[in-house]
Amino acid sequence: MGCPRTAVASSATSAVSGASNSRHRGLRAGLAALALILMAPAGAVAADMPEFLRGSYSPSSTRWDGFYVGGQAGETFGTADFSDVSRPLVSDILANTELQPIVSNWTILSKGSTGSQSYGGFIGYNYQWDDVIMGAELNYNHMSIVTGGQATVGPILVPGANLPGGSTVLYSVTETSNASVTIHDIVTARARAGWAFDRFLPYGFVGLAVGRADITRFASVDVFKSITPPPPSSPGSFLPVPLSRNPQSQSQGGLIAYGFTAGLGVEVALMQNLFVRAEWEFIEFPNIADFRVSVNSARVGVGLKF
């Protein structure tokens, strides 16, 4: 009875040994094939790869010169200064009155801030001298920065010119104003300069900015006047002063705003023709129909070199 079991065990051992030898032969064959691939000329392998991935890559071989294009996204924060916004409206309301040069110079509104997501693209060209990089770039970003403010001051007593006979004039003035500004799109033309450190390219830029904006503003002035005869008369009553141009409002869409830009960034080469970037940008629009707007943006992007 033992002989059959011995025969079966011997047969099983032989089968396992054969399978093991077969796996070893397969492993040796696979290693040999891998060795042949590794020893093959780099050009033969690279010939089958996409153009922008061809060739071995090392930091020392990074080149930054040539055309490039890419896309970007980030966060944009805008601040609008409304200090001068209501002045032309108030000046028009009080035209030909002695209050015009006084009240129209009041600062009613101050500043407003807001944030928005932004996205866009860029295209440019780099020149390279050793590690020095110089270039030019067009950069576009779409956003929706909407900020505004409103305020009322008064009543404020404003002395008027004395009348003949010794009578005195006193005005009671209340001013109400509100305004808003929206920035939709910004295009910048930049001059860039950087210094290459292997795969890293820190850079700075300055340039001109053009934006598309919408504005609204409103102003209303309520004036009451009191005339007091010479003493010992009692003060006169305040009576309303009719103003035919009161109130005033303005709304304009699609205004073209001009300003300047400056910022810093860094690019990192992932491959010979592929890079990522992160940057901060400041833009100032000194005068959009009396609105002063500044924009700060932080964004990341990815680009392709040609």
- What are the CA-CA distances from residue 129 to residues 106, 196, 203, 258 (Å)? 55, 10, 15, 33
C-alpha to C-alpha distance for 184 and 34, rounded to whole angstroms: 56
Residues 209/283, Cβ–Cβ less than 8 Å: yes
Section 102-111 average pLDDT: 91
- Split at pLDDT 50, 70, 90, the class of 6 is very low
**Residue 54 in this model has a pLDDT that exceeds 60:** no
pLDDT value, residue 60:
53
* pTM of the predicted protein model: 0.73
**Residue 15 in this model has a pLDDT that exceeds 70:** no
C-alpha to C-alpha distance for 240 and 173, rounded to whole angstroms: 10
**Residue 49 in this model has a pLDDT that exceeds 90:** no
pLDDT value, residue 61:
66
Window from 2-11, 18-27, 266-275 with minimum mean pLDDT: 2-11
pLDDT value, residue 235:
74
Section 112-124 average pLDDT: 94
Q: Which residue has the higher pLDDT, 35 or 180?
A: 180
Q: Is 88 in a helix, a strand, or coil?
A: helix
Question: Per-domain residue ranges for the chain?
Answer: 2-39, 61-155+176-221+244-305
Residues 298/282, Cβ–Cβ less than 8 Å: no
Residues 229/167, Cβ–Cβ less than 8 Å: yes
- What are the CA-CA distances from residue 279 to residues 47, 82, 141, 186, 247 (Å)? 36, 29, 13, 16, 45
Which of 135, 72, 141 minimizes the C-alpha distance to 295? 141
Section 275-280 average pLDDT: 97
pLDDT value, residue 20:
41
Q: Which residue has the higher pLDDT, 35 or 72?
A: 72
Q: Which residue has the higher pLDDT, 32 or 164?
A: 164
Section 123-130 average pLDDT: 95
**Residue 299 in this model has a pLDDT that exceeds 60:** yes
**Residue 200 in this model has a pLDDT that exceeds 90:** yes
Residues in contact with 159: Cβ distance below 8 Å, sequence separation at least 6, in sequence order: 168, 169, 170, 171
Residues 266/203, Cβ–Cβ less than 8 Å: yes
Q: pLDDT tens-digit profile of 203-254?
A: 999 999 999 999 999 999 999 999 988 777 777 789 999 999 999 999 999 9
The CATH T-level fold of domain 61-155+176-221+244-305 is Porin (2.40.160)
The DSSP result for 22-63, as a single string, is: HHHHHHHHHHHHHHHHHHS-HHHHHTTS-GGG-S---GGG--
Residues 196/64, Cβ–Cβ less than 8 Å: yes
